[in-house]
Every structure is written in structure tokens, then in C-alpha cells.
DNA sequence: CACAAATATTAGCGAAGGCTAATATGATGA
DNA sequence: TCATCATATTAGCCTTCGCTAATATTTGTG
């Protein structure tokens, strides 16, 4: 309602719209982790992960705290955790539905042909 | 869990990560609407809206039905509706927190400086 | 202080995304 | 059948994004 600021909301949502970022969120879902832990776990590139962490932080999805030379990242608060849970449920439902009901070729979203 | 297919999930989420698409979802949130209704409401470009609708449909977020020469779009199911509701709640919380707590310059997510 | 580990930042490249204008398709009705 | 309305598709342009490699910054340690 009230014509929400879709611009800001879109930026917030963009945090969840990329594979690596989703994997990061999954990795720190239940416990905070350091950058190198995440890098190891995802077998990713340090620079790349670092950039995605910055993105997620900028989106307000995660927070960080420093401890010595380590920086721990975790989900911002319980709202985000709940959101991830709801997302999973909804996604599973929709995935099933889309996969099952529709012979419809394109699950592929907006990609160009 | 089970290392979900983040690739597909990311595509699903991408549907929610763009201003115009969020506006469309808002427009059809409570009732199905035709393309032209949406175009009018958003004061948008027909081609543009049509493309975003195709994207949302491809993501499994909305569905369409034809009635004469009109095509009505609506949210796929109640799960999506719930999801939008949860998103609003969480976003409001986070928006406040991010805006308030952090003097942190970047609310702007991953954008380059 | 010098060095090493942990993380962040920058630059540059190629791919994907979003927009507009133009054109195509499909349905209706005279 | 022709004209028109509703929608979809295509092409081209420009911007944004994600990745890698290289470099910088910060912190702890000998």
C-alpha cells in the first residue's frame, strides 16, 4: 500500500537474486562465519565472496563484526531468518507446481533466447 | 537444506528484484488485471510491461488467462501472496534498521561508486 | 619493524538486463 | 475480408552485474 518505495525494495531483493549470494546466506544461516570459512565452504574466490558479502551487507541482509583479524558475518536479525524460511517453502511449492503442471518450456525467467 | 539448487532459486528471486516488476506485483496483488490496465496504472510502456510480465511468468510468480482479446495476469497462488506479505513486513523492519542504525553510507547495495 | 594472514578494494572485461521503437500476432467486429 | 484493439516479440543501445587478477589495508606475531 501507500505506493511503497519499490526502488529501495528492489535493491533489498536483489541481494537474494544471485546464486553465490544465496549460497552465502545458506552458509551463514545457522551460525556466523568468517570470510575465509565461507570461501572454503563455497570453494569460491576470495575477492568474489568479499564483494558479495559487501553487497549483502549493503542490502541490509547481513551484518559483520570484527574479532581480531577475522570478520564474522551473520544474518542481520530474526526477520531475515524467517524470510529465508518462508522463501524456501514458497520456492519449493512454486518449483513443484511450475515443474509439474506446466509443460511450459520456460522456467528460465527473462533470459533472451 | 540439502544444498538447494541456488541457481533456480536465484532466477525465481530475480523476479522480485526489479522496481517495475515489484510495481506490477503490487498492482495485481489483490485482483487480476489486463496488460493495458497495468500499463495505465504504472504509466508504463506497453512493450516494457509486457516483457516484465513474461519475466514474472517465467519465474513462476504470476499466471495468465485469456478472455477474448484480453489477457489477465494474477499472482500464481496464495503462497506468492503470503510471500509478498512477509516481504513487506521484513522489508519495513530492515529498511528502518538499515536507514536508522547505520550511518553506513551505502544503502545502495552492490552498486559501484 | 618486517612479515604473514585475513579481508577489502580496484580495474577491466564479457555477459546479462532493461529500455525504447518498430513490427508481428491474434482476436473482434463491421 | 479489412480495420482495429490488445498483447507479444524483436532489434539495438546502453547500463549494470559478476568474475578474475592484482593491489591495498588492517591486524597479529616474531
The answer, for A101 touching chain B at a CB cutoff of 8 Å, is no
Cα separation, A33 vs B68, whole angstroms? 56
Please enumerate in sequence order all residues whose Cβ is within 8 A of that of A28, keeping only pairs 6 or more positions apart, or say none. A38, A62, A73, A74, A75
- Output helix, strand, coil percentages for chain B, rounded to the nearest 5: 55, 10, 30
**Across B36-57, average pLDDT:** 98
Please determine, for residue B105, whether its predicted confidence score (pLDDT) is greater than 50.
no
- Record: contact B82-A79, CB cut-off 8 A: no
Nearest CB among A16, A98, A110 relative to B55 is that of A110
Q: For residues A48 and A20, is the Cβ–Cβ distance under 8 A?
A: yes
Please measure the distance between the N-terminal and C-terminal CA atoms of chain A and give it in whole angstroms.
35
Which of B2, B43, B53, B94 would you mutate first to test chain A, the one with the most A CBs within 10 A? B94
Residues 49-68 of B with CB under 8 A from A: 51, 54-55, 58-61
Please determine, for residue A13, whether its predicted confidence score (pLDDT) is greater than 90.
yes
Q: How close, in Å, is residue A1 to chain B by CA atoms? A: 8
Q: What is the pTM for the complete model shown?
A: 0.90
Q: How close, in Å, is residue A78 to chain B by CA atoms? A: 9
Please enumerate in sequence order all residues whose Cβ is within 8 A of that of A103, keeping only pairs 6 or more positions apart, or say none. none
Q: B6-35 burial, b for 16+ CB within 10 Å, e for fewer? A: bebbbbbbbbbbbbbbbbbbbbbeeebbbb
pLDDT tens per residue across span A40-88: 999 999 999 999 999 999 999 999 999 999 999 999 999 999 999 999 9
CA-to-C1' span, A27 to C22 (A): 47
Please determine, for residue A107, whether its predicted confidence score (pLDDT) is greater than 60.
no
- Cell numbers found for residue B60: 513462476
Domain boundaries, chain B: 6-106
**Across B55-60, average pLDDT:** 96
The arrangement of secondary structure in A6-106, i.e. its CATH architecture, is Orthogonal Bundle (1.10)
How far does Cα A84 stand from its chain's mean position?
A: 8
Q: For residue A44, give Cα distances in angstroms to A19, A22, A38, A49, A62.
A: 12, 13, 8, 7, 19
Nearest-CA residue to the C1' of C28? B69
- Cell numbers found for residue B112: 559501484
Q: What mean pLDDT, rounded, does chain A reach?
A: 88
Which of A9, A22, A26, A107 would you mutate first to test chain B, the one with the most B CBs within 10 A? A9
Please determine, for residue B112, whether its predicted confidence score (pLDDT) is greater than 60.
no
pLDDT tens per residue across span B65-102: 999 999 999 999 999 999 999 999 999 888 877 665 54
Q: Report the 10 Å Cβ neighbour count for A62.
A: 23
Residue B4 pLDDT class (50, 70, 90 cuts): low
| Nearest partner of B59 among B96, B108, B24, B103, judged by Cα | B24
Number of inter-chain CB pairs under 8 A, A vs B: 149
Least confident of A59-63, B101-105, B106-110: B101-105
Q: What is the pLDDT of residue A101?
A: 59
Residue A113 pLDDT class (50, 70, 90 cuts): very low
Amino acid at each position: 500500500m501507500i505506493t511503497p518505495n519499490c526502488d529501495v525494495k528492489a535493491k533489498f531483493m536483489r541481494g537474494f537474486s544471485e546464486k553465490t549470494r544465496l549460497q552465502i546466506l545458506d552458509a551463514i544461516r545457522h551460525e556466523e562465519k568468517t570470510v575465509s570459512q565461507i570461501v572454503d565452504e563455497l570453494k569460491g574466490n576470495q575477492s568474489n565472496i568479499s564483494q558479495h558479502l559487501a553487497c549483502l551487507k549493503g542490502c541490509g541482509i547481513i551484518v559483520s563484526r570484527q574479532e581480531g583479524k577475522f570478520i564474522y558475518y551473520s544474518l542481520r536479525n530474526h526477520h531475515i531468518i524467517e524470510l529465508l524460511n518462508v522463501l524456501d517453502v514458497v520456492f519449493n511449492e512454486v518449483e513443484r507446481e511450475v515443474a509439474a503442471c506446466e509443460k511450459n518450456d520456460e522456467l528460465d525467467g527473462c533470459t533472451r533466447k
